Amino acid sequence: MANRHLQRSVAMQALFEWDFQGCKDENIEEIIDHNVAEFAPGMEECAFTQALIAGTLENRDSIDMLIEKCAPEWPLEQVTIIDRNILRLGIFELMHGNYDEVPPKVAINEAIELAKAFGGDSSARFVNGVLGTIYREMGEPMKDDTSKKDKERVSIAEVVEEKEKEEKEVVE
């Protein structure tokens, strides 16, 4: 599905621009339109791009909290804008995506490919590490499921709660 890969790329570029311009939600539609015209001219259907961006922004607070929990040595503001937005997209798709359309491992692999294409030398490893941690914390949904019958997912709140519980146990 090259079209989905292209739409993910456009979504990441739009989120990068949105973040670079100060995270002003009121500008996102204009940014999306500009990026679709610039990077995907002739793409007739961009609903997937819009859904990725809308979902990512809607869940940004909990997604950012997960990034901070899973990469504690990297405060969110120190993560490069590219990596931060690739992670946001990947986490949104991993946590809230439709597993019939995009299984978890595909969401992770797509984020890694974006990191390879747009990020720095260590971006792919960093993205893989963070998303892999989240995937394991979720219980590795669909790990061995080729029939896509096991689609139960853990909510972001449950993952964060589990991480906090583990941290408390370490402190005590």
Q: Is the pTM of this model over 0.75?
A: yes
The pLDDT, as a whole number, for residue 172 is 62
The pLDDT, as a whole number, for residue 46 is 86
The backbone region for 22, taken as left when phi is positive above 0, alpha when psi lies in -120 to 50, beta otherwise, is left
What are the φ and ψ backbone dihedral angles of 154, each rounded to 5 degrees? -90, 140
What is the chain's pLDDT, residue by residue, as a tens digit (172 residues)?
A: 468 899 999 999 999 999 999 988 898 999 999 999 888 888 878 889 999 999 999 999 999 999 988 887 888 888 999 999 999 999 999 988 887 888 888 999 999 999 999 999 999 999 999 999 988 887 665 666 544 433 344 455 555 566 566 666 666 6
The pLDDT, as a whole number, for residue 25 is 86
Domains of the chain in sequence order: 2-171 (1.10.940.10)
Q: What angle do CA 115, 143, 86 make, to 5 degrees?
A: 15
Q: What gap in Å lies between CA 5 and CA 11, rounded to an integer?
A: 10
**DSSP calls for 59-89:** THHHHHHHHHHH-TTS-GGGS-HHHHHHHHH
